[in-house]
Amino acid sequence: MKRFLAIAYIVFSGSVLLAQTDNQIIAKAGNLDIQASEFKERFELTPWPRGANYKTTKNPQLDFLYTLVAEKLLAQEAQSKGFDTTRSFQNAFKTIEKMYVRDALYKNEITKRINISASDLNNGCEKSRYQLKLDFISAETESEIQKISKSLKSGKSFDALREAKNGEKDSCITISYGDLSEQLENTLYKLKTGQYTNPFMAFGKWYIFRLVEKTDYLAQNPTDRDQLVSNARQVITKRLNEKYYQEYYHKFFTGKKVETEANLFRSLSDKVIHIINERKSDPKISAKDKCLLILSDFIKIEEEFGPDSLNLTFIRFGQDPVSLRQFINEIAYDGFSGANANSDEIRIRFDNRIRTYIENELLSREGYRQGLQNLPEVKRIMKMWKEDYLSQLFKGQIMDSVKSGKFDDKRFSSNSDSSNLKFVNIVEIVTDNLDNVEKIFTELKNNIDIKQLARTYSKREDVQKTGGETGYFSIDSRGEIGRIAAKMQIGEVYGPLKTTEGYSVFKLIDRKDSVENKIKSVNTGNSGYDPATKKYLNILTDYTAKLAKSYGVTINEDLLNTVEAPNLNVFAYRYLGFGGRIMAVPFTVPFMDWVEQWKKSEGIIP
């Protein structure tokens, strides 16, 4: 049986309904609290290894809580050292905050207006209970369909005209409530069997539809009445959302004028075009592949401009113009991609990206004007993201100091012999596209071989040859991937794990206590032993244990035992109002190694 540690899952924007216990504090790390609501949300929406090797407490919920405590400890230490004042933090934090402020504006201006009347719901339920079987005659032009309509009215056979025009004896389709536009749907649901519509424009063509059969789904499935009501409510809500969105969008943007500095746009787009063309010239990259500009690319672009140009106004709003530096920093968060090396097409795509940025900026500013950043829900979410990002920055500093040799405390030097290390072999898919992650897990569930998927979706250059198989590497190498793979069961799939390359999905295919030196890791190019990674993990474990002792940690296990939070093992992302999406919760990698050391220092008996 295949075992999956995560599946792709979509979470739509909406307020979380909290139980009475959800505002209670389930743990404290220094002066930072972890409420039951945060624990539940993150535990349910974070992939978590199921292998017994990872259960240090024999309680996956407690293991996850200890991981969150470590995050809060590191975040607290990072803040004490001023990490929250750095440019990298401020840029990332502000970008995420703007997304949630826009989402709050959407709820305030659009979602709150939705009020489904009893008559509308009854009408929707009446339609929802029926499925319509239709056949049709189609034409490319209005004049052609009008001729067919005239022939029908003169008594010509619908079947004969359809076969003559469509070249088919049977061209039936089945529709349910919500499948088509409301206008067309209203017309179709009024038909009686055998009746047909007037010419109707749909899907870019002209149609005449005829009702063949009307099936009463509820009569066949009387126990599904509640589900039909729910479906009707969803369709009506979606349509009202779209209606109010269009009304607000046109009203809000009418009369607003924002200008971009033309010379800076040309210079910036030229640099973007140069990077994409440079990558596209690589014969290993296929013509259909997108080239993604990531953070390092935008840092390079900044360096090419220099401080004087970066401080120039790039976008002129009525107030508070946006500098070139500010714009580059904000689009760097999501990156920019192009599949075509044609300079004109890239420039048009980049221009559209700037237009989207301007629209989002105007909406964000309106949200801030209304004070939506101070809403309790927005503040709750931003606190969670802030603490996660601070902890990530702090861990990154530790790794950088280890690699640079600045962290030279001999206590953390590893005396491990690479010949005694445990080794794992995985098949890994690396992608920078969240949509690909969803497709990967859907196809894995349909028993598509992961090596085949790696050849389709992975951005690695050697994937066609290796099928994504890395070869054996030490569990003390490759950072979080090695640490997670060490605890997985053979055949398990884990992911997606956020890495510097994008998102990693991998399957453990073998584990060995030792390997011959001649066996190389395909992607890392070494025998698998990485002293820097081992040293980093030792330092991180020791540092976190010391922070726990210094700041203090308390766990409310009685409350934890009452929290109903199933581990769904999903990777979730949330669609936000006015467009955009983000991971539903900060991604958390298991980290409980510090707990035993902390308990010993506190004299706590495990």
Grouping H, G, I as helix, E, B as strand and the rest as coil, residue 552 is coil
d(CA 407, CA 542): 13
| Burial of 406 from C-beta contacts in 10 A (0-12 / 13-18 / 19+) | exposed
- Dihedrals φ, ψ of 120, to 5°? -65, -40
Calculate the average pLDDT of the chain: 84
d(CA 265, CA 346): 13
Q: Which amino acid is at 513?
A: D
**Count of CA atoms in the C-beta half-sphere (13 A) of 193:** 6
Question: Residues 347-382, buried b or exposed e (16+ Cβ, 10 A)?
Answer: bebbeebbeebbbbbbbbbbbbeeebbebeebeebb
Neighbour tally for 512: CB within 10 Å: 13
- pLDDT recorded at residue 282: 66
Q: What is the mean pLDDT of residues 14-43?
A: 80
Least confident window among 41-50, 88-97, 256-265, 351-360: 41-50
| Burial of 559 from C-beta contacts in 10 A (0-12 / 13-18 / 19+) | middle
The beta strand positions in 367-487, using DSSP E, are 423-431, 473-474
- pLDDT recorded at residue 483: 80
Contact 537, 483 (CB under 8 A): yes
Sheet containing strand 570-575, strands side by side: 7-12, 570-575, 581-583
pTM of the full predicted structure?
Answer: 0.80
Distances (CA, A) of 549 to 597, 599, 600: 10, 9, 10
**Count of CA atoms in the C-beta half-sphere (13 A) of 102:** 24
pLDDT, tens digit, for every residue of 361-385? 999 999 999 999 999 999 999 999 9
- pLDDT recorded at residue 587: 84
> 601: which residues sit within 8 A by CB, 6+ positions away?
545, 546, 549
First to last CA, the chain: 35
d(CA 544, CA 77): 10
Contact 533, 545 (CB under 8 A): no
d(CA 161, CA 144): 12
**Count of CA atoms in the C-beta half-sphere (13 A) of 601:** 16
- pLDDT recorded at residue 515: 59
Percent of the chain with pLDDT over 70: 85
Question: Residues 49-81, buried b or exposed e (16+ Cβ, 10 A)?
Answer: bbbeebbbeeebbbbbbbbbbbbbbbbbbbbee
With bands split at pLDDT 50, 70 and 90, how would you rate the model's confidence at 416?
very low
pLDDT, tens digit, for every residue of 294-313? 777 888 999 999 999 999 99
Tell me: pLDDT of 506 over 60: yes
Q: What is the mean pLDDT of residues 185-198?
A: 94
Element (H, E) at 9: strand 7-12
- Give the domains, in start order, of the chain with CATH numbers: 3-84+421-602 (3.10.50.40), 118-224 (3.10.50.40)
